[in-house]
Structure 1
Amino acid sequence: MAKHSWHVVAVTFLTGWHPAGANGAQLEMPAESKAVFQLTEPLASYTLPLGPFRDGGIPGKTLEGRVTKTAWKTENPIRSTMDLLVPLRDQLESQGFAVLFACESFECGGFDFRFATPVLPEPEMHIDLGDYRYLTAEKGEKAVTLLISRSSTAGFVQVIEVDATGVTNGAEPSSETASPALPQPIQTPFTAQTPTPSAEPLKGDKLLTGGSTILDGLEFPSGSTTLPDKTYPSLDELAGWLKSNPKLKIAVVGHTDASGGLDVNIAISKKRAGSVRQYLIEKHGVSAAQVEAEGAGYLAPIASNLTEEGRRANRRVEVMVTSTQFQP
């Protein structure tokens, strides 16, 4: 295992940030680490994952109490996620916490597991969907989950802590506390970008002459591959156009930013495109033979992946005509 120097920090069971020796679990983080995000909810619920993603969900146990979410970033590259996990796991076990569940990326359930459990947003918490580790530990009415991943230049640790001590139904949130003034990023859902600043309705002639068109107004909640059940004008218009031209065929193509591995991003983008296809077929009765769903992952960016604005623009769904002969 790679050698690191470590410094002691206390996790925040009921008491916020503390020096070593305070009550609660004591976790040592690498000395080059820094806390980049923290959010404390005096009274909330959190479901502890107790198994991998299967049959549409993650088995778990829900606790109610003080929930604290913290993201740590170590600026130096790490050899493996195991290098970060092992010292933290050993510390928890030495303090009486029992490990209830632990897994590694694909054995956890890959992107399905990651999207079914809370994850703090980029860039404070980065997840490589092909290289992450998860751990759930419990001690009495206190519990900790660790989510660990890395990029080519940094390591990332998410710590979620729950203290259910003394919580009863109907209890009022405590007013004492407070987390330090760390950055609190806005968790923005995926929203498909418009091809131009003015949001014009989708027009069939643009598809016939313009190659591909970005579908406007598609909203996937953070981490989801399913469209919420609502109305999407761009898809409604596309459906009408397809039904008026039943011999025409199209491909709906999902795109992602460059976070994570290619295979996983292709799978995610294809699932999102599949949700659009399903909307056209189920909501409007478009022929299934007219629409195919594909995923390009991060292979066709329209903006830089080095900025959040660029990554947001790259997360989109496009439509293109695949018919090579068509008479209106």
Structure 2
Amino acid sequence: MVTLQQGLKFLIIMMLLMKGMAGAFADAIEPTSDIDGSADNPLIKRYDGSFIVSYETFSYTDFTVPLGALKRDPDTEKRDASNNSVYAPEKTLDIEGMLTRIAYVLPPERSPLEVLRNYQDEIEKAKGELLFQCKSEECGGDATRSSAGGGGDMSLAMIFFREGDLKDEAFSNGACALTPAIKDQRFFSAKIPASDGDTYVTVQTYTMLDDLYCKALNGRTIAIVHVVEPKSRDKKMVVVGATEMASSISTQGSISLYGIYFDTDKSDLKPESEPTLKEIAGLLALDEKLAVLIVGHTDNEGKFAYNLDLSSKRAAAVKKALVTTYKIKAERLATSGAGMMAPVASNDDEEGRAKNRRVALVKLN
């Protein structure tokens, strides 16, 4: 039997261990300089006296610009990977280009509204155009969350990134700024025209709330700035040819293809898919007796049933294109969706998830 004294001793040891584990990370501190390797985007100045606490650039990526408030998905049972009810802006603009994400900690006693208005002044100076703005609950979703949390409603910040996407160390100034409970949320999206293409900017400001590991920044205003600049995409992907497809199917019975493109959560084929579709048609022309099963695969983002249905629709879209555009006989093509059931890589990071999003051809006869 465990005595009271033994129980208290065990409790003290566990508390010390937990404290030691937390101590392995650096708590937030009052920033006095920008983090290493960071810099303002030349198009958007910072608020005087603020410091960069999180910084990330993407040489080429896609980005969703909210043009309306978040609305709950009509399928009220739909959940994201963190078991939140799914929300999305009622109107968006999907763009691609070079993305810079910067998180600033503002000086004390600066309100989210004051900071937002200063950023709007910069947009006006650049002869830009405000596309959408909102505050607090008007923005839709959970206005008390930033990018972290599960089991509730999605927040505005979750449209852009999630806690698991961040490179900032736990309890660092960057992680504290991007993942806390929040209040007094403000937001706008804008466009800055230029001769070489439009630049899009989003600014989200809020008061962060955290009196534990992030208490050094508790009550401070945070500004999250996204800048997406026009940039031509490097076209370096090698399209898998019909002969290579035939070889793989002959020796392995199947081949996975990554040249079939869809927008997130959609089953409409993108124009960039045409080279690979053409090679699939070439494969089937090489052997007129060959029949294949087209299998759609997804990553594990979202609910199982939803991904299963989405992957089935994507496989059907590939078949439809082959039949209607390339005149392949429908009876030579079967379709199925595997959803997230057959990963070829870990779903714990974007690199792995990208490998899992694919279309496979499986030999039928």
User: Shorter chain as normaliser: what TM range?
Assistant: 0.3 to 0.5
Higher helix share: 2
With the length of structure 2 as denominator, give the TM-score of the two structures.
Answer: 0.43
TM-score by length of 1: 0.47
Larger Rg, first or second structure (1 or 2)? 2
